[in-house]
Amino acid sequence: MEYTNKLESRDLLEMYRLLMLTREFEDRLCGLWGRGGVVELPHGSQGQEAIAIGACYGLRVQDQVLPSLRTRGAFIVKGVPTTLQMAGIFGKVGGPARGKSTTHHMTDPVRGVLLGTGLIGSDIPVAVGAALAFKLQKKESIVVNFFGDGAAQRGDFHEGLNFAAVFKLPVIFVLENNGYAEYTPLNKHFAGTNFACRAEGYGFPGIRLDGNDVLAVYEAVQVAAARARAGEGPTLLECMTYRYRNHCEGQTPEYMRDPAEIAEWQKKDPIPRFEAYLVERGLLNEADRSRVYAAAQAEMDTAIRYAEESPFPPVEEMSTGAYAPEDPTLVGGRRI
């Protein structure tokens, strides 16, 4: 594919590092399950990391992301330290919400990651509400909302998209179509041919693209972001991808995927594909690759150690931060 972006070598290499770090984070997290420490079932995103990295890479600091329960890369690109993320997953004080956010409900609004809801699809109107707030405040910031093909079957999807379209809100809907909703294959919950065309019904662009191509995602989001910042309204991006792991760790064998299907998608894995692109341009060699991988491993060693050593929150903090502050621009005492 021919790309049109003007990314410099250092950006390309940084995107590569972020991809590697996200994969390593997920591999380590899934590996920790059942060995103590991790307090909630990990939902791995291995295979679909290029979507979060490509989508978030060009965002501004003030832009907010509303991730799904599987959008690890969004936290990484938005600069939530891996130490804090892992401590949060361990339910420890060192986490971004001082032990209250674990994996599903991790949030760090100061760094630009909003809290989603536990109900898939219900995040969509929340993201739209945040975009409405930006518009009312006359800010140039945008919201990027990630969700899966299963979430797109909820009524919230239609309500959210329609509202965002009518009010021309600065929001990008990133639909990670990984072919499964929990364990249900796409053809068992969807009789249509694609989700992108739904946007046309609401009067805004919907584009289907290769979600395993980090630069294709980056470019599509850049176009959508410019449109959103110019007051022209939302875009729906249907990113085609696959997740290698089951819905979550700790599942019984009947839910396991067909190994042949996994092998087919591994040929399109976003990381080797991007490596090949970088190698072809003379930006990466085997030694660089090993160095980036070793750095990701070392960073995750540190993150896990930090999480293990961080204390559990004291009981006095049980309800702290659980209710909206009187001043809604303050979160955990910090202004957002």
- Binding footprint of ligand TPP on the chain (CB under 6 A): 70, 118-120, 147-151, 178, 180-182, 247
135 vs 247 by CB, closer to ligand TPP? 247
Minimum distance from residue 271 beta carbon to ligand TPP (Å): 19
d(CA 34, CA 140): 44
> Could you tell me which residues come within 8 angstroms of residue 131 by beta carbon, excluding any fewer than 6 positions away?
142, 143, 164, 169, 170, 171, 228, 234
CB of residue 323 vs ligand TPP: minimum separation in angstroms? 23
Q: Tokens 């001043």 map to which residue?
A: 327
- Distance between CA 106 and CA 111 in Å, rounded? 12
CB of 181 to ligand TPP, least distance (A): 4
Residue placing its CB nearer to ligand TPP in the complex, 68 or 222: 68
What's the closest the beta carbon of residue 189 comes to ligand TPP, in angstroms?
Answer: 8
**Which residue number, 44 or 112, has a Cβ lying nearer to ligand TPP?**
44
> Closest CB to ligand TPP among 49 and 299?
49
Residue closer to ligand TPP, measured from CB, 84 or 199: 199
Q: Considering the complex, what minimum distance in angstroms separates the CB of residue 254 from ligand TPP?
A: 17
- Bridge partners, 66 (sequence order): 145
> 49 or 275, CB closer to ligand TPP?
49
CB of 150 to ligand TPP, least distance (A): 3
- Going from the C-alpha of 185 to that of each of 150, 188, 238, the distances in angstroms are 9, 6, 17
Q: Minimum distance between the CB of residue 256 and ligand TPP, rounded to whole angstroms? A: 15
Token couple for 300: 């995750």
Q: CB 328: neighbour CB atoms within 10 A?
A: 9
Strands 334-335 and 330-331: antiparallel
CB 177 within 8 A of CB 240: yes
Rounded least distance, CB 43 to ligand TPP, Å: 7
Give 182 or 301: the residue with its C-beta nearer to ligand TPP: 182
Residue among 134 and 180 whose Cβ is closer to ligand TPP = 180
Question: How buried is residue 73: exposed, middle or buried, by Cβ count under 10 Å (0-12/13-18/19+)?
Answer: buried
Concatenated DSSP letters of 5-68: ----HHHHHHHHHHHHHHHHHHHHHHHHTTSSS--S-----TT-HHHHHHHHHT--TT-EEE--
- Asked whether 51 and 73 are in contact (CB, 8 A), the reply is yes
Shortest separation between residue 182's beta carbon and ligand TPP, angstroms: 4
Going through 108-150 in order, the beta strands assigned E by DSSP cover: 143-148
Q: Which residue number, 107 or 178, has a Cβ lying nearer to ligand TPP?
A: 178
Residue facing ligand TPP at closest CB distance: 148
User: Running DSSP on this structure, what letter comes out for residue 149?
Assistant: T
CA dihedral 3, 23, 252, 92 (to 10 degrees): -130
